[in-house]
Amino acid sequence: MAADVDAIVIGAGSVGNPTAYFLAREGRRVLVLDELSASGQGQNKAAIGGVRATHSDPAKIRLGQESLEIFSHWKEETGTDIGWKPGGYCFPAYDETTESTLRTLLGVQHAYHLGIEWRDPAEIRRVVPGINPEGLRGGTYSPGDGQVNPLKAAESFTHEAVRRGAEYHYREKVTDLLVDDHTVRGVRTDRGEYRAPVVINTAGARGSQIARMAGLELPVAPESHEAGISAPVKEFLAPLVVDLRPGPEGKTANFYFGQDADQQVIFCYTPRPAVPGENRTSTFEFMPIAAARLVSLIPRLKNLTIRRVWRGLYPMTPDGSPIVGWAPDVKGLLLGIGLCGQGFMLGPGVGRTLAALASGTRPILDPDVLATLSPSRDFYRGTKESLR
Ligand SMILES: Cc1cc2nc3c(=O)[nH]c(=O)nc-3n(C[C@H](O)[C@H](O)[C@H](O)COP(=O)(O)OP(=O)(O)OC[C@H]3O[C@@H](n4cnc5c(N)ncnc54)[C@H](O)[C@@H]3O)c2cc1C
């Protein structure tokens, strides 16, 4: 039977939208399917919008650089404001362990020529006005990183993809993959069937369920994370600030916050222990803990008005790296899943990579680097990256 399109993308999220955009830009006929009612309504809209290339793993560094390049030039390219705010990332250090972790990472980051340096306490106080000076030992600052509004980005990638011919179907759930002779032929949904020589799984927290439809077992498991946002306040803070210390309450690992392009303070913490599962109901403890951590770092934020909190999912892999590449044993099935807590910032880089693989053009990642994201890798070798 003839193909309906060149590629089907499952999921209009942080990864699926850029994938559709790059495919459409290359002149491919693309169909994007999402069970939700609009673009970016899965975990994409839960992200606080931090975008950085300053990772410690070559694949993430390269994907982050590519994403930064795309996000930071998006307005020139398309005329659309997606809330890009340069201003970098700052990791302050208040104890020896954090200082030593950050200094060790600098070695790796400099080997990849990333613009990140150690700054003394006075410089950190200039970069983060009002930061608690007590015990501050300095920190790292990477001015080239930034922030983007995830909903505006989803909307704009979708608009640009559609303008180039991509078709989006919302409220349409993929219920099965059509596979025969170890080859994917298309998808079945709750409304019908579509045929394509390439099917791209960018289904986020449901990525492993979609893979299972083709008989593949991939370790992507959702984890719950909460976030909040304030009413706007006078602009005072350029970077996203990440406090790597565990919280004194014993329930949190790192805490991070920034002021977005609309001057709202946006914040998040990593719960400890991790909370596996798909629970998206906000907890009573989130706001008191987040407020205490925020005020301990910037005491003058004690009168901040909080406007909204929410809870979303990180699609986690055991080694903390995404799964990007062709599925083993099922021809035509591409995977862009398991983006953990970095799917928004890596999304455009992963999307460009998937589009290149689908079109048979040269991906932005060198083959040996791309191999580190392979679905066939050993997920339990080595350690998780320390800067999630
Ligand atoms: C509180 C919080 C803060 C975060 N902050 C950041 C941050 O600052 N920076 C960052 O980079 N990341 C951040 N993240 C992580 C980021 O949100 C995710 O990594 C990212 O959104 C995952 O992208 P995705 O495209 O894989 O999934 P999604 O964006 O969820 O897209 C997957 C889509 O697939 C659709 N789908 C699933 N199954 C089916 C099906 N059967 N049929 C049809 N459609 C289907 C879903 O409806 C969804 O729209 C944060 C996450 C949380 C929870």
Cβ neighbourhood burial of 329 (10 Å; 0-12, 13-18, 19+): exposed
Closest Cα to residue 84, out of 44, 122, 49, 128?
49
Q: CA–CA distance from 377 to each of 83, 219, 282, 319, 371 (Å)?
A: 36, 11, 35, 10, 8
Same-domain check for residues 227 and 297: yes
**Strand runs (DSSP E) across 190-246, as ranges?**
193-195, 198-201, 221-232, 240-243
Q: Which atom of ligand 1 is nearest to the CA of 346?
A: 11
Same-domain check for residues 202 and 236: no
**Confidence check: pLDDT of 2 > 80:** no
Q: What share of residues in the chain are helix, strand, coil (percent, to 5)?
A: 30, 25, 40
Helices and strands: H and E segment counts in the chain: 10, 20
Q: Is the CB of 47 under 6 A from ligand 1?
A: yes
- Residue closest via CA to ligand 1's atom 20 equals 343
User: Which of 314, 338, 355 is a domain's end point?
Assistant: 314
> Which residues partner with 241 through β-bridges?
90, 257
Tens digit of each residue's pLDDT (9 = 90 or more) over 124-163: 999 999 999 999 999 999 999 999 999 999 999 999 999 9
Query: What is the total count of domains within the chain?
Result: 2
Same-domain check for residues 100 and 17: no
25 C-alpha to center of ligand 1: Å? 23
In a domain, 180, yes or no: yes
User: Which of 314, 347, 382 is a domain's end point?
Assistant: 314
339 C-alpha to center of ligand 1: Å? 8
- Residue closest via CA to ligand 1's atom 15 equals 341
In a domain, 301, yes or no: yes
User: Which of 299, 314, 329 is a domain's end point?
Assistant: 314
% of residues, the chain, pLDDT over 70: 98
111 C-alpha to center of ligand 1: Å? 31
Same-domain check for residues 211 and 157: yes
Fill in the amino acid letter for 347: G
In a domain, 257, yes or no: yes
Confidence of residue 3 (pLDDT cuts 50, 70, 90): confident
Name the DSSP letter for residue 331: B
At 383 the pLDDT is 52
In a domain, 43, yes or no: yes
Q: Is the CB of 339 under 6 A from ligand 1?
A: yes
Q: How many CA atoms lie within 13 A of 297 on its CB side?
A: 28
Same-domain check for residues 304 and 333: no
Confidence of residue 387 (pLDDT cuts 50, 70, 90): very low
Structure tokens at 173: 């759930």
Tens digit of each residue's pLDDT (9 = 90 or more) over 267-316: 999 999 999 999 999 999 999 999 999 999 999 999 999 999 999 999 99
**Confidence check: pLDDT of 372 > 90:** yes
Same-domain check for residues 232 and 359: no
Same-domain check for residues 92 and 230: yes
Same-domain check for residues 184 and 303: no
Name the DSSP letter for residue 236: -
Torsion, CA 62, CA 71, CA 225, CA 376, rounded to 10: -30
Q: Is the CB of 68 under 6 A from ligand 1?
A: no
Q: Longest Cα pair distance anywhere in the chain, in angstroms? A: 69
Q: Is the CB of 268 under 6 A from ligand 1?
A: yes
Q: Is the CB of 52 under 6 A from ligand 1?
A: no
**Confidence check: pLDDT of 327 > 60:** yes
Closest Cα to residue 365, out of 58, 20, 56, 18?
58
Q: Is the CB of 227 under 6 A from ligand 1?
A: yes
In a domain, 385, yes or no: no
Name the DSSP letter for residue 276: B
Closest Cα to residue 15, out of 376, 332, 369, 352?
352
In a domain, 380, yes or no: no
Same-domain check for residues 201 and 302: no
In a domain, 383, yes or no: no
> Which residues partner with 159 through β-bridges?
none
% of residues, the chain, pLDDT over 90: 97
Tens digit of each residue's pLDDT (9 = 90 or more) over 12-67: 999 999 999 999 999 999 999 999 999 999 999 999 999 999 998 999 999 999 99
Query: Where in the sequence is the domain holding 276, given as residue range(s)?
Result: 85-144+221-314
| Termini Cα distance of the chain | 45
Q: Is the CB of 174 under 6 A from ligand 1?
A: yes
51 C-alpha to center of ligand 1: Å? 15
* Cα distance between residue 180 and residue 196, in whole Å: 13
Task: State the CATH number of the domain containing residue 258.
Answer: 3.30.9.10
At 386 the pLDDT is 43
3-state secondary structure of 308: strand
The whole-model pTM stands at 0.97
119 C-alpha to center of ligand 1: Å? 33
Q: Output phi, psi for 319, to 5 deg.
A: -100, 5
Report, as an integer, the average pLDDT of 68-95.
98
Report, as an integer, the average pLDDT of 179-199.
98
205 C-alpha to center of ligand 1: Å? 7
Same-domain check for residues 18 and 114: no
In a domain, 172, yes or no: yes
Tens digit of each residue's pLDDT (9 = 90 or more) over 97-133: 999 999 999 998 999 999 999 999 999 999 999 999 9
Same-domain check for residues 135 and 236: yes
Cβ(68)–Cβ(146) below 8 Å: yes
- Residue closest via CA to ligand 1's atom 48 equals 42
Q: Is the bond leading into 273 cis (omega within 30 degrees of zero)?
A: yes
107 C-alpha to center of ligand 1: Å? 31
**Confidence check: pLDDT of 388 > 50:** no
Task: State the CATH number of the domain containing residue 163.
Answer: 3.50.50.60
Same-domain check for residues 169 and 300: no
